[in-house]
Amino acid sequence: MLKRKYIRLIPLLFLIIYSCSDNEPLIIEDENIITECNGPIVNFNDEESSLPRLRVVGNKIVNDNCEKVVLKGVAIIDPYFLVEHEGGIKESDFKSLKNDWNVNIIRVPIHPELYKNNPDYLQKYVDPIIKLGNQLGFYVFLSYHAHGNIITGQSEQPDWKNTAPWRGNPFDSSKLLAYSALQEMVTKYQNKPWVIYGSFNEPTFISWNDWYSEAELLVDVVHNVNDNALVIVSGVNWGYDLSKTITKPVNRKNVVYETHPYPWKGNAWKNDLKKLAKKYPVMLGEWGFDSASDPKSLENYGKPLIKFCNELGISRVAWIWHHEWTPAIFKNKERELTDFGALVLHDLKN
């Protein structure tokens, strides 16, 4: 067993913890964070992987060499639609995302309604992507795509909720369904170090005071099966608002906070993330814009967002690698890039 070294930070001082190699040191600014980084996590049940298991150390996501990792990638559409409506899970698409787009993470939205109504959902729609993640070398972010209040069950109710292939509410916020889905996912993929778990995509109709303790229970569902798993926790107000996290954090290890700062939300998120990123790892779990509806969004939103993320070293996942789901990276089936898509491609390749 590896001996782990625990260090409590000295008040009012920066503690610099150097990695196992000559890489960038980890700089933690908070005196209450216990840091640990003594090399690889030993899990003898893990499958052979092209990627190391990620973990949280202080305010960073790090790999087995204690090096900071910035995750940059895109979201694809729910794989149900890839299989049932777009000709299947195409290896060529994922090779392009890895080799041409240079992603190191792909977000896979799993809609509760489709998961509930397809007993073989993971096997049929997710397993092939998990396999490609290891084969090609990208992390797979399984995002449980619920929207609403997990306590009351109030959910987003889109106009198209009863159209095919939906049979009710695509974003079902049922607590029991969320527990069941997360437990099945982590049980199935617990020994695959390249899989990351999104606990609940967009909590809304709920305050942070009520949400953070529920988020802890969702993290527990994952960690009760694999306590080394990385779990993503969203802000409230459609995944956007993390302003209360500093005073009432999710008190669990290996948690990364995500925000969805779409242009109509304003810029308050930047100040929140500046504060939060000093203490915890944060990421933009979704971001995107539509120049057709707002011609100034590239200059006023997109470029400043990328600059902000680069300055703080923040991970980000663009929504969405498609031509019909929005905000769209492509204009059409021929995959002509939108302004948003061109910016995403440039960001990923630099």
3-state secondary structure of 158: coil
Q: What pLDDT is attached to residue 1?
A: 37
* Domain boundaries along the sequence of the chain: 1-52, 70-348
| pLDDT tens, position by position, 67-121 | 999 999 999 999 999 999 999 999 999 999 999 999 999 999 999 999 999 999 9
3-state secondary structure of 316: strand
Q: What pLDDT is attached to residue 193?
A: 96
First to last CA, the chain: 39
Tokens 């790892």 map to which residue?
281
User: What DSSP string describes 38-83?
Assistant: -S----TTPPP-SSPPPEEETTEEE-TTS-B---EEEEPPPHHHHH
Q: What pLDDT is attached to residue 35?
A: 57
| pLDDT tens, position by position, 189-220 | 999 999 999 999 999 999 999 999 999 999 99
pLDDT under 50 in the chain at which residues? 1-34
Q: At what angle do helices 303-312 and 268-276 cross, to 10 degrees?
A: 10
CATH number for the segment(s) 70-348: 3.20.20.80
Q: What pLDDT is attached to residue 42?
A: 65
Q: What pLDDT is attached to residue 301?
A: 98
Q: What pLDDT is attached to residue 9?
A: 29
